[in-house]
Amino acid sequence: MDCGNHISEFRPQRGRTVGETLIPTPSSKLKPQPLSAPSNLNARPLDLETLYFTRSIPLFRWSSDGSQIYFTSNITGRYNLWRVPSVGGWPVQVTVSDERTMVEEPSPDGRFLLYSQDVGGDEKPNLFLIDLADRTTRNVTNTKKVGYRDIHWSRDSSALVFAAEREKPGAYSIFRLDRTPLAVSKIAGNEDGECLSLQISPDDRKLAFNRTRNYLHTGVSLLDLETGKENVLAPIDDHSTTITAGWTCDSEKIYVTSNANDRETDAVALLDPKTKNFQWLTLGDWESFLADCSRSGDRYVYVVNEAGNHRVYLASLNGGVDEIPLPNGVLRMAEFSPDGKQVALLHASADSPPEIWIYEIETHNLKQITQSFVGGYERGDFVRPNLVVYPSFDRTPIAAFLYLPPNTQPDRSRPAIVYPHGGPMWQHMNDWFPQLQYFVSHGFVVMAPNYRGSTGFGRTFMESLRKDCGGGDLDDIVASLDYLKKTGYVNPTRIAFMGGSWGGYLTLAALTKYPDLWAAGVAIVPMANWFTAYENEDPTLRANDAWLMGDPVTDRELWRERSPYFFADRIKAPLLLLAGANDIRCPAEETKQVAEAVRQHGGIVEVKIYENEGHGFARRENNIDAFKRAAKFLEVHVTGEKTSAREISV
């Protein structure tokens, strides 16, 4: 089906008024840069299979003696544990499993390595201990369909402390697991809010943690591990988020990232348990957050997030600050070495997958110790996006990343993909997106907007989506079409809408609310129906959904109006749906019901549900298959290849 109507100037959904008061955001401070496609005489279309053999590293941990880095990677096509010398070298595989295996922490005494492992992407892992002396492995939790998070060793290595839903789905209390003899005991309940972000003090006597009722607004509590007494340092309120992030090495103060300040923007602070006051360390125009703090000194690493580009700093509490000279991109995590003399950094960018770097604090030497590219690919084979800003319907400035194919001329010939991020409280950054690089190398312009509801632009911007899901966020995205049209690069009759998770929901919303604008839609692990999603999703998510959209009974009209499922008859563009059978966030039933609704109304729909995946695809062959399907689908329906669409059964 060809939905090739020419784009006129964007008009917002009914009930909105052009010229409404704009939302304050630091995006207004961004200076427009000249827009041009990269020049690369060696540019060539990327091969999808080779691209997805590029290794992915989601996290790492130092060994207790600082000689090794343990990390999770899909080098074999499955996520397993690996280790590499901290000075660099050949990686050694530690675990061999067909299931997703994630490194947690080595014990401080160096005897054990802790990891978690779920089944089929269900996000309900068990915890395992590897005895590093005899290489035996032990499942220390032996639970089914139980979530664990924020898992840490006690400093004496005798026990683990974690938050878990061991008593009731969605109810996260704090537990202690003693290693010898193996025993689990509850040390804090969830009656006053779900528990998360646990931080054990260096003296092993106190536990700082967050409580929340909706996973948006948080309070801070301090648990005395000797007496069991809890002291509320910052109560849960209805407007601020404070995340515990570590301790000063003397166990006197707590590092936090918080927006409980006059600027309503995330910044790093010290929280004093005695006075309950915040001492702000990094408060500025752009959001900042703590990446890590030293256990053996007064240094800490923090990040300033400038519209999706990260600047990384090493600071000390005595006032010294140095910028770590990483390439342009984003910092995914950082961790000080046990002796505090080095910092390991997981860094990625649009032109590089995540890599581990080691920064020597005294010498300022920075060294990359992993190499994730395969097949001869290197940074120069990938496109760096342009950071652009455009006005939405109410004049609110929307920051976006615009990817232009190499050597492209502004002759209005290029197909395009509008690609909103998931979340919605997330952000598209200058990060590694292999699927986008693939499409750009094959001639697509890609627009990735940070619509209202995104993080990174202040609390007001993030919370403006409340009771407006599928409204203001969608209108911000659709407003990008006017910008795309004015660039001169895009054929306005050849624009697709593609997204995953919340981006998948927005794909369906766009196809139902603005059906004439799109040549095709690709929705990956989407939500389609607020009522059934709320009923079937993991209980942990319901409180946040209620904050976003209210009550399914009293706000029934809003829930129905913002559920694309009920308007599937409006969809004109061909639709591809990709989902995971074990998804606890956007259950596969969402995909099935919207697919059936589109079929009943005569629409073109293709569906693939991966039986061994959850919310997103962890297995290499499934990622390759999914984006081969998407590429073929867009070739047929967007770039003009005249072949008949085939329907794939659920």
- Residues near 16 by Cβ (< 8 Å), separated by ≥ 6? 393, 394, 471, 472, 475
pLDDT surpasses 70 at 649: no
Confidence of residue 642 (pLDDT cuts 50, 70, 90): very low
Cα distances (Å, whole numbers) of residue 89 to 68, 80, 84, 181, 366: 10, 18, 6, 38, 16
For the segment 557-572, the average pLDDT, to the nearest whole number, is 98
- Provide the pLDDT confidence category of residue 641 given band limits of 50, 70 and 90: low
Cα-based angle 249, 253, 257 (whole degrees, multiple of 5): 105
DSSP classification of residue 163: E
Q: Which of the four pLDDT bands, split at 50, 70 and 90, describes residue 12?
A: low
* 3 confidence band (pLDDT: 50, 70, 90): very low
**Is 245 among the domain residues?**
no
Distance from CA of residue 145 to its chain's centroid? 23
Residue type, 56: S
Local confidence band at 5 (pLDDT 50, 70, 90 cut-offs): very low
Nearest to 101 by CA among 128, 83, 64, 65: 128
Give yes or no for residue 1 having a pLDDT over 80: no
Provide the terminal-to-terminal Cα distance of the chain, rounded to the nearest Å: 21
pLDDT grade, residue 640 (50/70/90)?
confident
Q: Which amino acid is at 369?
A: I
DSSP state string for 465-527: TTT-TTTHHHHHHHTHHHHHHHHS-EEEEEEEEEEETHHHHHHHHHHHHSTTS-SEEEEES--
The H helix count followed by the E strand count for the chain is 11, 36
Residues 6+ apart with CB under 8 A from 341: 360, 361, 362
d(CA 512, CA 493): 17
Average pLDDT over residues 292-321: 97
Strand order of the β-sheet with 101-106 is 101-106, 112-117, 126-131, 137-139
For β-strands 218-224 and 321-323, DSSP reports them as unpaired
Would you state the pLDDT for residue 263? 95
Q: What is the reported pLDDT for 643? A: 32
d(CA 106, CA 129): 9
pLDDT tier at 8, thresholds 50, 70, 90? very low
pLDDT-derived band of residue 136, with 50, 70 and 90 as boundaries? very high
Residue 274 lies in a domain: no
Domain stops at, among 111, 133, 155: 133
For residue 181, what are the contacts with CB-CB under 8 A and spacing of at least 6?
none
Residue 513 confidence (pLDDT) above 70: yes
Closest CA to 476 of 37, 25, 32: 25
Structure confidence at residue 69 (pLDDT):
98
DSSP 405: -
pLDDT, tens only, 409-455: 999 999 999 999 999 999 999 999 999 999 999 999 999 999 999 99
CA distance 420 to 443: 19
In a domain, 208, yes or no: no
Nearest to 376 by CA among 39, 53, 40, 41: 53
What angle, rounded to 10 degrees, do the helices at 620-637 and 434-441 form?
Answer: 30
What mean pLDDT do residues 202-210 have?
Answer: 97
pLDDT over threshold 80, residue 75: yes
> Residues of the chain with pLDDT > 90: what percent?
94
Residue 605 lies in a domain: yes
Domain enclosing residue 62, as ranges = 56-133
The answer to whether position 61 is within a domain reads yes
Average pLDDT over residues 582-606: 98
Q: Per-residue pLDDT tens for 252-276?
A: 999 999 999 999 999 999 999 999 9
pLDDT over threshold 60, residue 650: no
Q: How high is the pLDDT of residue 18? A: 46
Residue 211 lies in a domain: no
Three-class secondary structure of residue 243 per DSSP: strand
Residue 13: the pLDDT is: 59
Domain holding 566: CATH number?
Answer: 3.40.50.1820
Instruction: Please tell me the distance from the alpha carbon of residue 413 to that of residue 3, in angstroms, as a whole number.
Output: 16
Residues 450 and 20: beta-carbon distance below 8 Å: no
Tokens of 642: 């005249």
Name the domain count of the chain.
2
**Which amino acid, 640?**
G
pLDDT for 358: 98
Please say which residue of 133, 156, 178 terminates a domain. Answer: 133
Band the pLDDT of 235: cuts 50, 70, 90: very high
Cα(310)–Cα(143) distance, rounded to whole angstroms?
A: 39
Contact 398, 451 (CB under 8 A): yes
The tokens for 11 are 């008009």
DSSP notation for 380-439: GGSPPPEEEEEE-TTS-EEEEEEE--TT--SSS-EEEEE---SSSS----S---HHHHHH
The DSSP 8-state label assigned to residue 340 in this structure reads S
Domain end, chosen from 114, 133, 152, is at 133
Separation of alpha carbons 538 and 152, rounded Å:
24
Residue 623 CA to chain centroid, in angstroms?
17
Give the tens place of pLDDT for each residue, 457-482: 999 999 999 999 999 999 999 999 99
Contact criterion met (CB below 8 Å) for 191 and 182 = no
Tell whether the model's pLDDT for residue 207 goes beyond 70: yes
Using the predicted structure, report yes or no on whether residue 562 has a pLDDT greater than 60.
yes
- Position 32 scores a pLDDT of 84
Query: How many C-beta atoms surround the C-beta of residue 29 within 10 A?
Result: 12
Question: In the structure, what pLDDT confidence band is assigned to residue 16 with cuts at 50, 70 and 90?
Answer: low
Dist. CA 396–CA 25, nearest whole Å: 8
Contact 94, 130 (CB under 8 A): yes
What confidence tier does 558 reach under pLDDT thresholds 50, 70, 90?
very high
Q: What is the mean pLDDT of the chain?
A: 95
